[in-house]
């Protein structure tokens, strides 16, 4: 049954990905109407997240942000499907790193780099930054339960040469790689999720006005192997076109105060969210373990 469902959906996804952009976004507009007005997909979660993040905003303002978010969420989902057939040339036009010299400089050094990102903008398309570059990019991802769809996700994210590693195996993977052959890699981590296992020594930081538990694995690895640590600040120029700025957090992380890089990461992400909140993924329970 699972393989049958996979084949049917894959056919639909692949066919949709071949459509011209104008028609492609018409489908996204239709999906928005269904998801927002008919299904009300996670509307309570989104609304609660927005109210907690922006207590100073009126109900009218919250509704405007919520509506814009759902429009963007549908675009992003469809754009992930578009990646099945989009050409390298087309992707290079639609996802641009504005300051590639920062990546080049890190690549020329003997160190590897940690590239932190948030669930903001087209974080899925960020794997394309490796197109026609000598970088070895390693991307962490959360596996999908259905094995067939999981293989599709991995294939899509590795399309431009990235190595794709399950998030639970990242620490062990990086330690193994860096011990054998240190340097010359970029490890991409989306680190703004809420840890499911909160312990006594879990770090809590202020994020969007709430104290929340945070992952510190990126900084841990950067300190352990003396890596650069930076933030990929992805923004949307217009529908279907994104720009990413590489913001250096710390070049010499071992010289900084413990957790300083993690704190800077959340400060940058929070600033970006406040600037254009509709591009953040509000459909997950970001503050479920907040205090």
Kindly report, residue by residue over 42-88, the tens digit of the pLDDT. Answer: 999 999 999 999 999 999 999 999 999 999 999 999 999 999 999 98
Check: pTM over 0.85? Answer yes or no.
yes
251 inside domain: yes
Half-sphere exposure at residue 263, Cβ-oriented, CA atoms within 13 angstroms: 10
Looking at residue 1, its pLDDT comes to 65
195: left (phi > 0), else alpha (psi -120 to 50), else beta? beta
User: 145 near 175, Cβ under 8 Å?
Assistant: no
Range of the domain at 237: 2-279
Does position 200 have pLDDT exceeding 80, yes or no? Answer: no
Kindly report, residue by residue over 136-158, the tens digit of the pLDDT. Answer: 889 888 887 777 777 877 788 88
Kindly report, residue by residue over 17-54, the tens digit of the pLDDT. Answer: 999 999 999 999 999 999 999 999 999 999 999 999 99
Residues near 225 by Cβ (< 8 Å), separated by ≥ 6? 111, 112, 174, 178, 182
**Count of domains for the chain:** 1
Percent of the chain predicted with pLDDT > 70: 99
- Start-to-end C-alpha separation, the chain: 43
Mean pLDDT of the chain: 90
248 inside domain: yes
Does position 196 have pLDDT exceeding 80, yes or no? Answer: no
Residues near 40 by Cβ (< 8 Å), separated by ≥ 6? none
Kindly report, residue by residue over 209-267, the tens digit of the pLDDT. Answer: 899 999 999 999 999 999 999 999 999 999 999 999 999 999 888 888 899 999 999 99
285 inside domain: no
């Amino acid at each position: 049954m699972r393989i049958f469902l996979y084949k049917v959906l894959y056919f639909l996804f692949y066919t949709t990905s071949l459509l011209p952009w104008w028609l492609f976004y018409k489908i996204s507009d239709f999906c928005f109407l269904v998801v927002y007005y008919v299904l009300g997909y996670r509307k309570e979660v989104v609304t609660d997240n927005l109210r907690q993040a922006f207590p100073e905003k009126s109900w009218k303002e919250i509704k405007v942000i919520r509506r814009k978010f759902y429009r963007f969420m549908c675009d992003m989902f469809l754009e992930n499907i578009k990646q099945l057939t989009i050409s390298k040339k087309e992707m290079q036009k639609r996802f641009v790193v504005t300051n590639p010299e920062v990546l080049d400089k890190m690549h020329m050094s003997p160190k590897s780099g940690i590239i932190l990102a948030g669930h903001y903008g087209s974080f899925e398309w960020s794997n394309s930054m490796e197109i026609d570059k000598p970088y070895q990019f390693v991307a962490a991802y959360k596996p999908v339960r259905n094995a067939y769809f999981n293989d599709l996700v991995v294939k899509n994210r590795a399309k431009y040469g990235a190595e794709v590693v399950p998030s639970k195996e990242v620490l062990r993977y990086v330690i193994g790689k860096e011990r054998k052959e240190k340097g010359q890699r970029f490890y991409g981590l989306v680190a703004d999720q809420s840890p499911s296992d909160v312990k006594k020594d879990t770090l809590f930081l202020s994020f969007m006005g709430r104290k929340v538990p945070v992952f510190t694995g990126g900084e841990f690895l950067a300190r352990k192997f003396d890596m650069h640590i930076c933030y990929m600040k992805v923004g949307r120029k217009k529908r279907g076109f994104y720009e990413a700025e590489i913001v250096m957090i710390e070049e010499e992380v071992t010289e900084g105060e413990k957790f300083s890089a993690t704190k800077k990461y959340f400060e940058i992400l929070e600033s970006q969210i406040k600037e254009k909140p509709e591009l953040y993924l509000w459909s997950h329970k970001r503050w479920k373990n907040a205090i």
